[in-house]
């Protein structure tokens, strides 16, 4: 435990997991420098306070205040000069690291990231969309990120970088992974009920393995029957985060046994859950909100191709044995 606290720069410690991006070393060195500086001054100041308290406490019938020296130019220059130099040093190193962390190299591999309550989706250069973030090792990767609804924040602790994802504008983050590993993409900005569940797998592969993965993943539903493909897509696009398929509760209604039944809407109307209803609810979720649920689902307009909508519908029908 103590050894764990003492290690620094890129290694796993009590405070941070092992750093696995090119700038992890710089970030960690600065972090631990400031950390140990704080520990040093905390101990020094508190130690001296306690020591003076004991040494100069009032004894016997000494007068309340004794004459003392009230000015020492050398001492004042020293205690102002040393902190000034330390602060300037922190600024210079911090500024250099910051510029490195916010400036993606020209040749970065670009992935679009989309955040919404409460899942991530990543669009690769060939148009393939997945809820998992796969990246090549040893090549700068740049994410261009946007949010469908509220403020989210992209965070993979091992990469030592974090960036807000903002509705109505694009933000970006970049990193260059140094070795293959698996981790988790976290949302680091409180975004509502399921904020803590807003996680996606992060997988860094060697370049050839990444290329093979992307090629295979992009054709994932070839040779699958629609229900099977729909079930997979249901996971991949994060539907399952809010809508259970086993009758359990959630942010949205469960899909177990719902197909073909009449539903009561929040505005007082009713309607049958059929193919058109599901399609409308995916593309325009607030049109017919089921009674008892909040209108919190974002639109998926433009994010599902027609054939993807049909396999999702086939899967939802299958849950009701239709
Ligand atoms: Cu998204 Cu917290």
Task: Give 226-272 pLDDT, tens digit per residue.
Answer: 888 888 888 888 888 888 888 887 888 888 887 888 888 888 888 88
Cα–Cα distance measured from residue 176 to residue 254, given in angstroms and rounded to the nearest whole number: 40
Lowest mean pLDDT among 10-24, 115-129, 149-163: 10-24
Domain that holds residue 92: 2-51+72-102
In a shared domain, residues 175 and 266: no
DSSP string of 101-134?
A: HH---TTPEEEEEEEETTEEEEE-TTS-EESSEE
Q: Is the CB of 30 under 6 A from ligand 1?
A: no
Residue that has been written with the tokens 């399952």 in this structure: 240
Give residue 120 CA to ligand 1 midpoint distance, Å: 9
Given the structure tokens 């293959």, which residue do they identify?
A: 180
- Is the CB of residue 198 below 6 angstroms from any atom belonging to ligand 1? yes
| Confidence check: pLDDT of 168 > 50 | yes
Same domain, 114 and 212: yes
* Residue 56 Cβ < 6 Å to ligand 1: no
Question: How far is it, in rounded angstroms, from Cα 111 to Cα 119?
Answer: 16
- The response to whether residue 189 sits with its C-beta less than 6 Å from ligand 1 reads yes
Q: 272-296: b or e for each residue (b if 16 or more CB lie within 10 Å)?
A: ebeeebbbebbeebeebbbeeeeeb
| Predicted local confidence at residue 11, as pLDDT | 66
Is 58 within a domain? no
Nearest alpha carbon to residue 289 among 318, 265, 271, 306: 265
- Pair (240, 162) in one structural domain: no
| CATH at residue 267 | 1.10.760.10
pLDDT, average across residues 272-285: 89
Atom of ligand 1 nearest to the CA of 195: 2
Host H or E run for residue 207: helix 207-218
66 is a domain residue: no
The alpha carbon of residue 234 and the mean position of all alpha carbons in its chain are separated, in whole angstroms, by 21
If you take atom 1 of ligand 1, which residue's CA is the nearest one?
152
Ligand 1 atom closest to residue 150's alpha carbon, by position in its atom list: 1
Spatial neighbors of 107 by CB under 8 A, at least 6 apart, are 140
176 and 255 belong to one structural domain: no
Ligand 1 atom closest to Cα of residue 191 = 2
User: For the chain, how many structural domains are there in total?
Assistant: 3
pLDDT of 203: 95
Partnered with residue 204 across adjacent β-strands are 135, 181
- Domain-ending residue, one of 217, 237, 272: 217
Cβ-contact 207, 137 below 8 angstroms: yes
Q: Which H helix or E strand runs over 208?
A: helix 207-218
Residues 259 and 176 in one domain: no
Partners of 186 in beta bridges: 155
Confidence of residue 299 (pLDDT cuts 50, 70, 90): confident
pLDDT of res. 92: 95
Average the pLDDT over each of 53-67, 79-93, 184-198, 230-244 and give the range with the smallest value: 53-67
Residue 322's pLDDT band, with cuts at 50, 70 and 90, is: low
Average of pLDDT values for 278-286? Answer: 89
For residue 238, the CA-to-ligand 1 centroid distance in Å is 14
**Pairwise CA distance, residues 99 & 106, whole Å:** 14
Centroid of ligand 1 to alpha carbon of 165 (angstroms): 9
What's the CA gap between 106 and 139, in Å, rounded? 11
Whole-number Å distance, alpha carbon 164 to ligand 1 midpoint, is: 10
When pLDDT is cut at 50, 70 and 90, the band that residue 10 belongs to is low
Residue 212 and residue 178 in one domain: yes
Whether 241 lines ligand 1, by a CB cut-off of 6 Å, is no
Query: Has residue 2 got a pLDDT over 80?
Result: no
Cβ of 205 less than 6 Å from ligand 1: no
Burial 18-57 (b: 16+ CB within 10 A, else e): ebbbbbbbbbbebbbbeeeeeeeeeeeeeeeeeeeeeeee
Does 128 fall in a domain?
yes
Q: How far is the centre of ligand 1, averaged over its atoms, from the C-alpha of 292 (Å)?
A: 23
């Amino acid at each position: 435990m103590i050894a764990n606290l003492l290690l620094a720069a890129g290694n796993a410690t009590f405070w941070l997991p092992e750093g696995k991006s090119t700038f992890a070393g710089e970030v960690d060195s600065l972090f631990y420098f400031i950390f140990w500086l704080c520990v040093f001054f905390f101990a020094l100041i508190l130690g001296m306070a306690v020591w003076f308290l004991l040494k100069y406490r009032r004894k016997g019938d000494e007068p309340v205040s004794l004459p003392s020296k009230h000015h020492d130019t050398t001492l004042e220059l020293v205690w102002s000069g040393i902190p000034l130099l330390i602060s300037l040093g922190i600024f210079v190193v911090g500024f250099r690291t910051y510029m490195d962390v916010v400036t993606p190299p020209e040749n970065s591999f670009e992935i679009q990231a989309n955040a919404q309550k409460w899942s991530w989706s990543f669009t690769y250069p060939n148009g393939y969309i997945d809820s998992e973030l796969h990246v090549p090792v040893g090549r700068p990767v740049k994410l261009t990120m946007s949010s469908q609804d509220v403020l989210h924040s992209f965070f993979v602790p091992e990469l030592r970088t974090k960036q807000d994802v903002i509705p109505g504008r694009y933000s970006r983050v970049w990193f260059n992974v140094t070795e293959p590993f698996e981790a988790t993409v976290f949302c680091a900005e409180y975004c509502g009920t399921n904020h803590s569940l807003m996680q996606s797998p992060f997988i860094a592969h060697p370049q050839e393995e990444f290329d093979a993965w992307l090629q295979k993943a992009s054709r994932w539903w070839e040779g699958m029957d629609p229900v099977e493909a729909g079930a997979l897509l249901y996971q991949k696009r994060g539907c399952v985060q809010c809508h259970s398929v086993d009758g359990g509760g959630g942010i949205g209604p469960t899909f177990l046994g719902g197909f073909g039944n009449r539903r009561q809407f929040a505005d007082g109307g009713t309607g049958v859950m059929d193919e058109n209803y599901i399609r409308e609810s995916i593309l325009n979720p607030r049109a017919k909100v089921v009674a008892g649920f909040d209108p919190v689902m974002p639109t998926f307009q433009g994010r599902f191709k027609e054939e993807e909508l049909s396999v999702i519908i086939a899967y939802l029908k299958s849950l009701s044995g239709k």
